Amino acid sequence: MQWARNDKKEAQRAYRQQMGGFLRAELFFFDGMNTLFRQFYGAIAGKNAEPIPVSEAIRTTRIMENLFESCEPMLTTDRRGATVCC
């Protein structure tokens, strides 16, 4: 039974280390992401307003949708009438 307790302690220690790194934003590549995530979590918890207004999120989503649509390959038909990508 002692081995189970040791495994549990080791797992808990590893979990705390990983969560500590996550909360300190050691996993994020861009400056400011830690602040942004904390603001989002605060908004979810009802502690502060959302860091990005809903209207701005919708506008950005529309821009990205247009960008993705423009990246889709154009479809044409060949001389046999089969659809092909350009």
Is the pTM above the cut of 0.85? no
Q: What is the pLDDT of residues 50-76, one digit of tens each?
A: 988 989 999 999 999 998 887 666 666
pLDDT given for residue 29 in this prediction: 60
When pLDDT is averaged across residues 8-25 and rounded to a whole number, the result is 79
Q: What are phi and psi of 18, to 5 degrees?
A: -65, -45
Radius of gyration of the chain (CA): 24
Q: Band of the pLDDT at 15, cuts 50, 70, 90? A: confident
Q: Vertex 46, ends 51 and 52: CA angle to 5°?
A: 10
Give the whole-angstrom CA distance, residue 10 versus residue 6.
6
Average of per-residue pLDDT across 33-42: 86
Domain boundaries, the chain: 2-85
